[in-house]
Amino acid sequence: MTSLKEFRNEIIIYAIVMAAVAEVVSLFIIGPSVMFPAGLAVGTAVSIIGFIILVKTGETLMEESKKSPILFGYIVRLFLYGISFFICIKLSLQCGCGCGIGFVTIHFGIMFLYGIVYKFIKKKKNPLNDWTEPKEWNDLSVYDDEDDWPTL
């Protein structure tokens, strides 16, 4: 499986590509405007920062088994999304729409990368589905008590 840093960076690159595609499409729909690309840039940047925070808090949870960074990371991400959208919508409606589209560029990048590229183009093996053989699960009915269960 690819390392977490490579996985994160690949998704971020595809998110930036999706933002560029959204900007090109917006040129045909709303024409040249300064506010929409500004909102799109803010939304994409906040989305990338939020994704990095999400990856870091997940990594902290897996390595140190601490749950407090998850709550703190969620509050920070929620605050970033709220403040950036509020500022963009106060500037103009186009800026707010661009910010909203920028928020989902990470999701579009993930859907494109792991839904289209790996499924239909088969560029390389999907790291999200790297089980070469079926996993064997322990049959817990053979144990008398929960204390006897093996660790998973």
pLDDT at position 1 is 44
Q: What is the total count of domains within the chain? A: 1
Helices (H), 2-140: 4-29, 35-64, 68-91, 93-103, 105-111
pLDDT at position 146 is 59
pLDDT along the chain (152 residues), means of 10: 74 87 83 85 92 86 77 88 92 89 88 75 59 56 58 56
CA 136, 126, 2, 19: dihedral to nearest 10 degrees?
Answer: -140
Its domain, for residue 80, covers 4-148
What is the spatial distance between Cα 85 and Cα 78, in angstroms, rounded to a whole number?
11
